[in-house]
Structure 1
Amino acid sequence: MSTITESVDVKATVSAVYNQWTQFESFPRFMDGVEEVRQVDDVHTHWKISVAGVTKEFDATITEQHPDERVAWTSDAGPTHAGVITFHRIDDTTTRVTAQMDIDPDGFVENVADKLGILDRKVKGDMQRFKTFIEHRDGQETGEWRGNVDRPAQH
């Protein structure tokens, strides 16, 4: 299991940045290797990704979501991963977005990519492309979802 942490400062309000991040179906526009994300309901997404020329599909569950603060998820099947994206107001027009992900590479190619630091660079590139995506829209998001998803109770 590898942990990847990456941050980027975005020239947009925290609400606009958060709102854009909740538009999961726009992820292929700035995430390398993500071919499609479909929001099934408020807490379930279906992903189609391409890794080293191999297409994979998997489902993920949003485990916690609070407007302008955080979105956390875990995979239900397929590549094992979980993570959280947090949003921090730096000032009225700047937001720091931090991604922290735990990834368990699946198979030889993904393990090699992890060992060579390719996964870290991929996440860094995705974060930079997200920054460019929203900043080129003059900080205007393509949509929003402002609902709350509370973390499941521990038993």
Structure 2
Amino acid sequence: MSTLEQHVDVGVPIGKAWDILHRVEDYPRFVDGLRNTRTEAGGRAHLGVEAGSRSRELEAEVSDREGEHVMEWHTTGAPDLTGSFSLQSIDENRTRVQARLEYEPGTIRDTFGGPKGFAQANAIERLVRSDLEHFKEYVEQGR
């Protein structure tokens, strides 16, 4: 199992970042490869993913540790992915958003295609970094 952690500092209060993070329907606006998303009953989310030349429909369970500003999620079927978003107040107008992703590289390659080994890890790291930067732009533009 591989673990990736990345963070970005955003110029909004923690409450605003937390609220936007919970709008699953907005994820395609800042997460590359998501073509559609929706919140479902019971803390579940449906994600339509397109990566490379492959499309997949994924279901995820989402839970909060709201007092700690941590959102955790995991897919309920293949591929087996687990992750979290942790928010930490830097000051009254800035928030650090930490993303954590746990994945099996071979499973990701089999599910979505792409390179093997180190090249794949670099591609996933670049993708998560890019998504965090897009999230930063999205929240700072006041959406």
- Structure 2: any 5+ residue segments left out of the alignment? none
Provide Cα deviations, 1:2-49, integer angstroms capped at 9, x if missing partner: 211010000000000000000011000010001111101241011110
Equivalent residue number for residue 115 of structure 2: 112
Q: How does 1:10-89 map to 2 (within 5 A)?
A: 10-66=10-66, 69-89=69-89
Q: Deviation above 3 Å: which 4+ runs of structure 1?
A: 108-111
The count of corresponding residues between Structure 1 and Structure 2 is: 138
**Paired residue secondary structure (2:133):** helix
Aligned residue number for residue 139 of structure 2: 134
Deviates more, 1:114-123 or 1:46-55: 114-123
Cα–Cα, structure 1 residues 22 and 114, in superposed 2: closer, same or farther, change >3 Å? farther
Distance 1:49 1:112 in 2: 18
Match of 1:26, SS state, is: helix
Q: Distance in 2 between matches of 1:112 and 1:68?
A: 36
TM-score when normalising by structure 2: 0.89
Post-superposition shift, 1:54? 0.6
Quick one: percent identity of the two aligned structures?
A: 23
Whether the 8 Å contact between 1:63 and 1:74 is mirrored in structure 2 is no
Compare the two structures and name the one with the higher helix fraction: 2
